[in-house]
Amino acid sequence: MEDIYLGDSNLFPEVWHSEMTVSVTGEPPSTVEEEGLPKETGVEIIPEILEILQPLSLPDVLRVSAVLEDAIDQLSILKYIMLIQYEGRQSISMKSGEMNLEGKNLHKLPMASTITKIPHPLIPKEEPDLPEIGQRGQFPVEFNKMQDLIFKNPTRQTIMTAETLKKIQLDRQFFSDVIADTIKELEDSGTFNNLLQALSKERGKKTHFCDVIAREEKGRKQIISLQKQLINVKKEQQFEVQSQNEYIANLKDQLQEMKAKTNLENRYMKINTELQIAQTQKKCNRTEELLLEEIEKLRMKTEEETRVHMEIEMFLRKEQQKLEEKLEFWMEKYDKDTEMKQNELNALKVAKASDLAHLQDLAKTIREYEQIITEDRIEKEKSRKKVEQDLLELKSVIKIQAWWRGTMIRKEIGGFRMPKDKVDSKDSKGKGKGKGRKRGKK
Amino acid sequence: MADETDREETVVAEFHKKIKGAFEVFDHESNNTVDVREIGTIIRSLGCCPSEGELHDLIAEIEEEEPTGYIRFEKFLPVMTEILLERRYRPIPEDVLLRAFEVLDTANRGFLTKDELIKYMTEEGEPFSQEEMEEMLSAAIDPESNSINYKDYISMMVIDEN
């Protein structure tokens, strides 16, 4: 038992899948088994239903309804059996009776499968678990497996059955309802449309279920791929973290170095500063001493200067007194001299004025004299010119007179005649004229 | 030289002849003497124009040491020949005469009035006699303006002479 449990627990993750399939697949046997009976009867009917959905003939109706009623009965019986079985399993882990029952149950399955196998070509559309039919090839194998599982893992079976039974009960209820409705319909109208409707509905549900499964599988694959991706991402992250860590370490190293350096620098700076301070202090001390000496010197000098200043002041006072006296003297003298000089100046001014007047008089006289002289000169010039003119006139007159006298005689103008012309008149005229002229002249 | 001396001699001979001719006109007694007063006329008739002053000097030269009032031909001939050879007392040329008149025409009018001319000729220098003055005026005065245009007058008289 424990071993089995252990094995079970070990197997669990792997089996989970198959269990699901089992739970799903585990169902059909019962249904198949339950339906097996009506199907056996319905083998001949189905073609009619398919071909003509006309109301069945009364005998057929009766037959079918009888079968259906029988099915309901069986289902109700099954209901109770299953309840007991379940309770029994609950109370005791495993009962041989139950085992047998189960065995019976299971033993029925091959039969049912054989049954279903035979009408296979005719049934398909009537079967509510049509998709299961496609799996029928696998079915026996699975069934065997299940059997094995059931036997190997009875505990697991019990745990599973709690849910499975519930489902089976629900299915059974549903099936019995459907059959009841069909019977009713058959009784009323002789048709079994209700059954067909239920069938199609179930088929739809089945396909939907298959889709869900497929989707789930896809989802699983996706999850795996995503997990892979996640792993990759994790790896990358890890790698990154590592590099970051390295970098951090590097930075830490640097920080350490920097700290060391800073410490060194700090120490150096401190020492340096101290030294500088010391130096500056020394310098300051020296300078202070020098300055003090200088102050002393300057004080000495100041004292000397003060003394000298006093002396000089005294001296200068004396000098000033002297100079003031002198100044007074000189002022007096200046006044006196000024007065004297003023007087002199006045006298000189007067003299100058008189001299100026005199000068003007003299200038006037000079001008008068000059005028007189010029007048005289002009007069003299005039007289000279006059004399010259007179002389010239005289000469001119003499010339003209001489010329005229000569001309008169030569041209015999007047009384004179040349002697050659008239010899007889020589004496009287010539002499008379000559004498007359001579007389006039002298 | 011989020709020159010959010509000179002929010229002198001609002068002698002229002088003798002129002298004889006034040698009324034919004793080779003339009155001193006639000398001026003789000289003037020989083509000379001496002034009265020059004439006086000349007479003083040729007169006897003791003035007799007569001039001998022997004395007169050489002096007169020299005068003619030296061409002294030549008639006064036209331009000189014109200048002399211009001197008298102090206002440069180009003419002299009758009164001015009379005044100059009778009161200045060697004054004219009444007769001489009248003769001059009769020849020179333009009766219309009663003045003498001396330029025209001179040119007229000089042309006549030539």
The CATH number assigned to the domain holding B59 equals: 1.10.238.10
The minimal CB distance from A392 to the residues B38, B92, B103 is found for B103
The minimal CB distance from A402 to the residues B24, B45, B51 is found for B51
β-partners of residue B34 are B71
**Do B1 and B80 belong together in one domain?**
yes
**Number of separate domains in chain B:** 2
Select from B86, B106, B132 the last residue of a domain. Answer: B86
B128 in a domain, yes or no?
yes
B79 in a domain, yes or no?
yes
**Do B80 and B99 belong together in one domain?**
no
- Residue B85: the pLDDT is 85
> Is the pTM of the predicted complex or chain greater than 0.80?
no
- Domain extent at residue B122: 94-157
**Do B98 and B82 belong together in one domain?**
no
Mind listing the pLDDT tens digit for each residue in B43-90?
888 888 888 888 888 888 888 777 788 888 888 888 888 888 888 887
**Do B76 and B107 belong together in one domain?**
no
Q: What percent of chain A has pLDDT above 70? A: 63
Calpha distance A360→A365 (Å, rounded)? 8
**Do B56 and B18 belong together in one domain?**
yes
Calpha distance A161→B18 (Å, rounded)? 226
Q: pLDDT at residue A280 above 60?
A: yes
**Across the interface, do B49 and A403 touch by the CB < 8 Å criterion?**
yes
Chain centre to alpha carbon of residue A165: 72
What would the mean pLDDT of A352-361 be, rounded to a whole number? 95
The contacts of residue B70 (CB under 8 Å, 6+ apart) are: B33, B34, B35, B36, B64
What would the mean pLDDT of A419-440 be, rounded to a whole number? 37
CA closest to A409 among chain B residues: B45
B162 in a domain, yes or no?
no
> Which of B98, B132, B141 to probe the A interface (max A CBs under 10 A)?
B132
**Do B81 and B145 belong together in one domain?**
no
- The CA–CA distances, whole Å, from A309 to A284, A312, A321 equal 35, 5, 18
- All residues of chain A having their beta carbon less than 8 Å from the beta carbon of residue B160 are 411
- Residue B160: the pLDDT is 60
- All residues of chain A having their beta carbon less than 8 Å from the beta carbon of residue B45 are 409-410, 418
B76 in a domain, yes or no?
yes
The minimal CB distance from B132 to the residues A393, A405, A431 is found for A405
**Do B136 and B152 belong together in one domain?**
yes
Q: At what angle do helices A2-25 and A27-51 cross, to 10 degrees?
A: 10
B144 in a domain, yes or no?
yes
ipTM above 0.85, yes or no: no
Q: pLDDT at residue A261 above 50?
A: yes
**Do B11 and B65 belong together in one domain?**
yes
Mind listing the pLDDT tens digit for each residue in B107-131?
888 888 888 888 888 888 888 888 8
Give me the half-sphere count of Cα atoms (radius 13 Å) on the Cβ side of residue A75: 26
Six-digit token string for A48: 């009619």
Calpha distance A210→A418 (Å, rounded)? 209
- All residues of chain B having their beta carbon less than 8 Å from the beta carbon of residue A435 are 35, 37
B140 in a domain, yes or no?
yes
B130 in a domain, yes or no?
yes
The minimal CB distance from B135 to the residues A413, A427, A438 is found for A413
**Across the interface, do B126 and A433 touch by the CB < 8 Å criterion?**
no
**Do B81 and B98 belong together in one domain?**
no
B148 in a domain, yes or no?
yes
Q: pLDDT at residue A156 above 70?
A: no
